[in-house]
Chains A and B, each alone.
Chain A
């Protein structure tokens, strides 16, 4: 009996030990290299006295400590870390750790390390590597099968087996990746040089990928979209997707998606003239609507007849930069307690890039008509969140709690600005939304027969230095400045000021993450595998090997895309991958 109890206890201890240790121990031993005795001593104190609550500190490199302003090299008394540890009785900011202060020896170790820091060389480093997977040859599809697969994905139909291209793949003259790339190349706008494809197939290919692009952007519901139905006929509800499609079929570098200065104009071709509003196509019982009017329908004599020009219909045959725009003299801020303006409104002009188009802002601004940004509670922060989702494939928060600490507004009247956990998200999205601070949602008239637009206010006030004002009633009239505070997938902190949406988009398109995101979106379309992107430097030790493999692959695809910029080539690179050639895409 005693033996049984002892054996049980022994096994319980083993199982608990294997559960308790796990990743942290593994990570330290496998991936962290230590080369400085001072850092080792410093790291030991941090691990022992701080890491229980601040577990992230275990993985901080020397660069992290400095970048996040916890340490000022060579100057312990200006370093936030030392100031928090040295106790408020001796002039420090805080009494960390709570309940049991550091011993003099421990404090001296921290101080000595910070004082000795002169240069910025990385001493503690996490070696991130991405494993490869050997897929079984028994599950590999034949060359013609791989070609059929990509052909279906790109065109929405099967290829005729007596076609020239199918035969070339069959006899080994070309590869599936090259063959599908050829179909993509011939699908460009205004192509007259068909070797393997034709106009009809090219239209199907363009439509197929435009549908994918519209699903990428996802949200398409304007404020009270039934009442504002007319908007859909004035500016394209899918303009952000048109930017993606423009990049693909007009041979632009992928960075142009956000860097394009143009509002886009779809060129369409139809045999017959369309007579129905776009929004009501789904309603069999639709009655023709009265003519459109501008102004305030609540007050007699305050309306004006108006005949907006409708967007073209038919197959998309080209996308061009829009040169002329529609405008109206009168417009209103909302449908009750109305203010009518008569200073003119341009109806169909966007700002900069896909994320600055009228429809993208309207779908994602998260503000009611009439509201003006005040820098505090009322700012277009949901737009910033959506930009991170759509173009960086990142969910909030995108920084560490520690990154946000210096931005916490302890005396703010806005509750979430005073809490570090909330500010982990708001530090990024609030200053980022400054790029479209001058946007205000307005209507062309007050009743349910109207259109909705973004009015971009002119800058008339000088800039303030306050990144997080509680309330500034002139905020929407100040320069469209802000900061992009973001930690990349590889853990690097970006903290840069921008002066406009154009400037912000330049920062975004200069990151690797922007291209990795595009790669992961197309990879998902081609394989059904959705790779979640996050700060992997932080979580590397916790991630399983299949995830590491997939993340490594999309990062590699993204790096290539950043260099060549060609989305067609990106698709070709995906088709060339071993995982793509597997039946069931490797069954991961």
Chain B
């Protein structure tokens, strides 16, 4: 054992050198997450998405553009012009990072959002209609692949998730959409 350790030290190259870069996972920002979920599940989910996603730049990244917003009164309203660009917590959010690494809290927020949205069958119908499916459509590989396209732009991820869903015999479209919505990969570029 002693020789093995000594040999390890003797052959290890200590001159690997210092690193002058840091590689972060290039995630999508809060606007992309917000717009994707709004597009897939419908505009009626705006308030859920504002509360969980737009309100959390520290988790999802993407700052704010307060000068874009035109407010009618001191009370924030979803009908205020360009309300999405508001600094929801503090004006200094204007300098928030353009993107933020994946984190457990971000994942929990995403999962809660997906659970809340998919409680409503109207939202399930909205998502399926985008890929010409309905709740009565069979859950087969071909149909599942179409739904994966709602979230993933990379073929490899579409295929992986299609197989996982079909092989695990997921029974309802609600569960299929939950798996896709909660998967962290669609938020990674």
Contacts and interface: CB of A to CB of B under 8 A. Distances in A.
A214 B70 contact: no
Nearest to B83: A281
Contacts of A534: 20
A531 interface: yes
B65 A8 contact: no
A207 B36 CA distance: 17
Contacts of A232: 66, 91
Interface in B13-33: 13-29, 31-32
Contacts of A547: 17-21
B21 A11 contact: no
Could you tell me the dominant secondary structure of chain B's interface residues?
Answer: loop
Interface in B136-161: 153-156
A545 B66 CA distance: 43
A236 B21 CA distance: 33
Interface string A455-498: 00000000000000000000000000000000000000000000
A148 B68 contact: no
A583 B32 CA distance: 19
B71 A276 contact: yes
B6 A152 contact: no
A11 B94 CA distance: 58
Interface string B55-98: 00000001111111111111110000110011111111011111
B35 interface: yes
B20 A19 contact: no
Given A274-B69, A527-B26, A7 B3 contact: yes
Contacts of A219: 95
A142 interface: yes
Contacts of B96: 215
Contacts of B66: 232, 278, 281
Interface in A234-271: 236-238, 266, 268, 270-271
B18 A544 contact: yes
A7 B156 CA distance: 52
Interface residues of B, number: 66
Given A531-B21, A544-B16, A158 B65 contact: no
A19 B10 CA distance: 8
Contacts of A217: 95
Given A225-B91, A272-B70, A532-B20, A583 B154 contact: yes
B72 A23 contact: no
Contacts, number: 209
B22 A315 contact: no
Contacts of B82: 270, 314-315
Contacts of A145: 153-155
Centre residue among A11, A14, A26 by max chain B CB count within 10 A: A11
A543 B26 contact: no
Interface residues of A, number: 87
A580 to B, nearest CB: 10
A270 B35 contact: no
A283 B71 CA distance: 12
A22 B99 CA distance: 38
Nearest to A312: B67
A207 B65 contact: yes
A214 to B, nearest CB: 5
Nearest to A238: B94
Given A11-B10, A282-B89, A314-B82, A212 B98 contact: yes
B9 A210 contact: no
Interface in B41-64: 62-64
B61 to A, nearest CB: 9
A117 interface: no
A280 B16 CA distance: 52
A585 interface: yes
B189 A149 contact: yes
B103 to A, nearest CB: 15
Nearest to A274: B70
Given A215-B95, A278-B67, 11 more contacts: A156-B29, A156-B31, A157-B32, A207-B65, A207-B68, A211-B98, A212-B98, A238-B67, A268-B68, A270-B70, A583-B156
18 contacts: A7-B3, A15-B10, A18-B11, A156-B29, A157-B32, A210-B65, A214-B63, A215-B95, A220-B91, A271-B81, A273-B70, A281-B87, A529-B21, A534-B20, A539-B18, A543-B17, A544-B18, A585-B23
